[in-house]
Structure 1
Amino acid sequence: MTMTKPYLKYCGAVTKEDVECIAQSQADAIGFIFAPSKRQVHPDDVNYWLTQTKCDKDIAGVFVNEKVQKVCDITKHIPLNIVQLHGDETEEYAKEIKQQTGAIVWKVFHHEPNLKETLEKMTAFAPFVDGFLIDSKVKGMRGGSGKAFAWEAVPVYVQHAKRLGKICAVAGGITPETVSELLAYGPEAIDLSSGVEENGKKSSAKIKALEERMLNDVRISK
């Protein structure tokens, strides 16, 4: 069986060097965090880095319970292709963002041992978003924990998203060492932040190692 390469997103770029590093990688998307976190960046900086770097990736912005107007402003300013909602946003809010920005909208859910709850949330949000991202649940953290959830659940999420006609990304604890194990569960998209960092900076060596492993496990289908 040949798998196609999952959609690959490197998130949490915080410097021009990070942007250059990701721009030269095989990633499909680069992500910036506009919510309070150790990787929060200012939209003006992001705009500057992107004008200075030839980066032909999809550009994603991560928001947590942000005012609709601010999300719209940043989306236009940069411009973002993907708006990732990482908070307690409602379906109504997601609908508003989708209508006003015209961007691709991903809603993030945290893996719960009771899968049914998350699957029900996915169904509820499906009319208003384009995709889902399942991340590990770590007390007091919205994401970027570097912890993996039980990946046996990945096929359940992926199949459910497919039934809803949406893409489903997986985040949390993915590293060059663990990516082969995750790929066995058939994720459609993967999202990494700390997994490709060395001392808080994106590492081209780690990115290269991850991509080599990934390409060994999948056949690229053009």
Structure 2
Amino acid sequence: MKVKICGITDVETALQAVAFGADAIGFVFAESKRKISPASAGLIAEQLPAYVEKIGVFVNETSDRIQEIIEEAKLTMIQLHGDETPEFCKDFSVPVIKAFSIGCQQDLEQIEDYPNQWFLLDSPSGKYRGGNGITFNWELLSSNTLPNKRIILAGGLNIDNVANAIEIAKPEMVDVSSGVETDGKKDTHKIKAFIQKAKKNND
């Protein structure tokens, strides 16, 4: 099971997450309490191993600006968390993860319209697009087959529920942000425990 730690803002936490087994690090460039500048993200990214995905999170940003940030922040993938159309998702220099808020069965049907291979399935939006610490009904996925799609599960995951979420939804990757924080800051003890729970018996 692959694990993405999202909302990273400093190199020390990023390096520790990778040492604990994180497969991907997420940088938020949209409005969020975890927002980071492209320059700062780039300084972190260049210190990470090549095998670790460096994923930039965007919400309704222009394609030109996204491409600029891909280069400045040294991103290897991007995650589009807004109202981006299938056409918009096609023309980037790195793979695109399209995020969807899942509240009901119909929300999953949107996926078929998109050319992407990677999809992040999150809980319905709160104040921000993502990072709200709320789960959605994972059973919606257990009865669904999404052929040729690679699923990243997000939304309210934490140390206590990630193993159950993986068992039900069977994603290729899990994504956590607020679930490994204490008082709004990344907690390396929680990051380590989350990664261990996610990867136990699921490799």
Q: Map 1:63-142 onto structure 2 (within 5 A).
A: 63-95=58-90, 99=91, 101-113=92-104, 115=105, 117-125=106-114, 127=115, 129-142=116-129
Distance 1:150 1:66, change over 3 A: same
CA distance in 2, matches of 1:108, 1:68: 16
Scaled by the length of structure 2, the TM-score of the pair is 0.91
Identity %: 35
* Contact kept? 2:17, 2:192, Cα under 8 Å: no
* Contact kept? 1:26, 1:211, Cα under 8 Å: yes
Distance 1:106 1:156, change over 3 A: farther
Structure 1: where are the runs of 5+ without partners?
A: 1-5
Which residue type is aligned with residue 66 of structure 2? V
* Contact kept? 2:78, 2:94, Cα under 8 Å: yes
Distance 1:166 1:19, change over 3 A: same
Q: Map 1:15-94 onto structure 2 (within 5 A).
A: 15-51=10-46, 53-56=47-50, 57-94=52-89
Which residue type is aligned with residue 28 of structure 1? D
**Greater shift after overlay, 18-27 or 184-193?**
18-27
Residue 3 of structure 1 corresponds to which residue in structure 2? none
More helix by share: 1
* Contact kept? 2:103, 2:137, Cα under 8 Å: no
Which residue type is aligned with residue 102 of structure 2? H
Q: C-alpha displacement at 1:156, in angstroms?
A: 4.0
Scaled by the length of structure 1, the TM-score of the pair is 0.84
Deviation sequence 1:110-165 (CA, Å, 0-9, x none): 0122x1x223210001x2x22111100034431100111111123245x22xx1x1
Which residue type is aligned with residue 204 of structure 1? T
Q: Does 1:212 align with 2:196?
A: yes
Q: Does 1:184 align with 2:167?
A: yes
Which residue type is aligned with residue 94 of structure 2? A
